[in-house]
Structures are given as C-alpha cells and as structure tokens.
Structure 1
Amino acid sequence: MDRIKEKMNQLRLEADEASSRVEELQAKVKALEQENLQKEQEITSLSHKNNVLEADVEKLELQVKDLKQSSESGQQHSTQNETLTRRIQLLEDEAEQADKTLREANEKLRQTDVKAGHFERKVQALEAERDTWESKYEEMAKKYNAVQKELEEFQIEVGNI
C-alpha cells in the first residue's frame, strides 16, 4: 500500500513538473508571439511614418527648388526663402523630436509587455499551485472518509465480537 502511495506521489510530482514545464513553454511562446506582433506593428508604423516623411521631404524639396528660382527674381523673394528654410528646419526638428518620442514610447511599451508577461506567468504559476492544493485537499478528504468508514466498520466488528 505504501509503495503504491509512493508511486502515485512520484507520478503526481512528475505530472506537476511536466505541467509546469508546458506552462512555462506556452508562456514563452506567447511572449515571443506578442513580441513578434509588436515588432510587426512597429515596422508598419515606422514604414507609414517614413512614407509620410518622404512625401514631406519631396514637398519641401519642391518648395526649396521653387524658392531658389524665385530668389533670383529679386530681393523681395529672398525673405520668403529664408522663412521657408526656417520652416523646413523646424519641421525637421519636429520630425526628429517625434522620432525620439516614438522610440521612447516603444521602449516603455516593451517594458510594459515584459512586466505583463512576468505577471501572467506568476498568475499561471499561482493558479497551478492552487489547483494542486485543491486536488491534494480533495484526495485527503477522500482518504479521510475512507479511513472513517473503515474505522466505523472496525468498531462494528469489534462490537459484534
């Protein structure tokens, strides 16, 4: 009887270890899929932003070309050229600032995803532990009831003797 119990306990431990390993691997797969999705979204976002910036650059290059032609027309156009050049510089500065902000936001998002993954794994581990304790409790309750029943039967047999 003790051997069977030991064997069952050993099998339960092996099953628990296998389950926890599966859960860890599933969590890793989920984290990698999430990271992959995040990177794809980041690529899409950056590609779109790049296209928008390229379009802005083309527009600005056309404006610079036009301004150069108009600056040859006279002094009056030179002030307009300087204004537009400053505007281009401001737009470039804004683009750099937006890029920096985007990188910071992506880093914060990555850190948040890492923390979320960590807490998800923690919750899964705690749920698994809870399930283990519940199954142990149920098993012990069954054993208690069986022993109680054996005790009553034994008392009845002793009383009959």
Structure 2
Amino acid sequence: MSMMDKLKERINTLRLEAESSQDKADEALGRVKSLEQDLLSKEQEITSLSHRNTLLEEQVEKLEKQLADAKAAAEDGAAHGSANETLTRKIQTLEEELEEADKNLRETTEKLRQTDVKAEQYERKVSSLETERDSWEKKYEELADKYAEAKSELEEINKQLESL
C-alpha cells in the first residue's frame, strides 16, 4: 500500500470521525434543548404550585378567623339553644373545611418540594449534557484540524509527485 493510499485512508478515517462527532454533538444539543424545555416547564409548575400554596395559606387563615368568630359567637349565644346548634354546625363545617384546606396545603407543599427536586435534577443533567456537548465540539474541532493538516500534507505530496 503506497503512502498516498495510506494518507487517503487516514483522511477518510478522520472525515468519518469528524462526521460522527458532529452527529453526536447535534444529538447532545437536541437533548440539552429538550431538557431545558422540561426545566422551563418544571419552573412554571413550581411557580404555579407556589401561587396555589399562597392562596391555600390565605384560605386557611380566613377559615381560622371564621372558625374563631363562629366559636366566639357560639359562646355568646350559649343562652339561645337553636342559635347554639346552628353555630355548632357551622363550627363543625368550618373545622372540616379547615382540615381539608390544611390537607390541600400539605399536598401542595409536598408537590412543590418534589417538583423543586426534579428541577434541580434537570439542571444537573442539562449541565452535564452541556459539558458533554462542549467535549464533542472540542473533539470535532481537533479532528477538523487533523483533517486539514492531512489534506495539506496530501496536497504537498501531490505537488512533489507532480514535479517528479
């Protein structure tokens, strides 16, 4: 096998490696974009859950105030039997609503925590993929430089052979 054939074979090998590296870099870039979109979606979900959490906390405060008002009214109306029964039912209803709101608050807080953990995981994964992409781009640039160098050598050898 002549030196020219070896050089051509080496150039073809470098070209294939460069194309493979470019494909891998493009694939990594696609994964990064997908994960960034997922991260954005999770951040929006966190914002939504935080807002919902705030609303539920306000509702809990409102229900606690209503419960306190109802208890105070029940104590004031102890002399009135039927009014007392009505207030007792209202207190019971308010306590049930308070428990439900408290349960919703705990669930929302847990979902918020889980979403926050997932968002952190996605951020780490995006960072890792960006590093991998940068590595592939560096390899691609190195291979492109080697290819240009080999091509230059081949042209120089061709010139020498033509001058003979």
Structure 1 residue 66 displacement after superposition = 2.0
Structure 1 residue identity aligned to 2:71:
V
Per-residue CA deviations over 1:1-24 (Å, capped at 9, x if unaligned) read: xxxxxxxxxxxxxxxxxxxxxxxx
Match of 1:101 among 101, 107, 110: 107
TM superposition shift of 1:109? 0.7
Q: Residue 77 of structure 2 contacts residue 83 of structure 2 at CA under 8 Å; is this kept in 1? A: yes
Change (3 A) 1:52 1:96: closer
Matching of residues 3-42 of structure 1 within 5 Å: 42=50
Structure 1 residue 73 and structure 2 residue 80: aligned? yes
- Residue type at the aligned position of 1:78: N
Work out whether residues 64 and 85 of structure 1, in 8 Å CA contact, stay in contact via their aligned partners in 2: yes
Task: Give ranges in structure 2 of 5+ residues lacking alignment.
Answer: 1-38
User: Are the equivalent residues in 2 in contact too, given 1:71–1:81 (CA < 8 A)?
Assistant: no
Kindly, what percent of the aligned residue pairs are identical? 7
For residue 93 of structure 1, report the CA deviation from its aligned partner.
1.4
- Residue number among 127, 148, 157 corresponding to 1:151 in the alignment: 157
- Correspondent of 1:134 among 133, 140, 147: 140
Which residue number in structure 2 is paired with residue 89 of structure 1?
95
Q: TM-score, normalised by structure 1?
A: 0.62
Q: Is the 8 A contact 2:74 2:87 kept in 1?
A: yes
AA of the residue aligned to 2:157: L
Larger relative contact order (Cα-Cα within 8 Å, sequence gap ≥ 6): 2
- Rounded to whole Å, the distance in 2 between the matches of 1:89 and 1:60 is 7
Q: How many residues align?
A: 121
Which residue of 62, 86, 97 maps to 1:55? 62
Shift of 1:141: 1.4
| 2:52/2:108 contact within 8 Å kept | no
Query: Aligned AA for 2:134?
Result: A
Report how far residue 139 of structure 1 moved. 0.4
Instruction: Give, in angstroms, the shift of residue 45 of structure 1.
Output: 5.7
1:137 deviation in Å? 2.0
CA displacement, residues 59-109 of structure 1 (integer Å, 9 cap, x when unaligned):
2222222222233112x2332233122213212211321121022111211
Question: Aligned-pair distance for 1:146?
Answer: 0.7
| 3-state secondary structure, aligned to 2:79 | helix
Q: Normalising to structure 2: TM-score of the pair?
A: 0.61
State the superposition RMSD in angstroms: 2.8
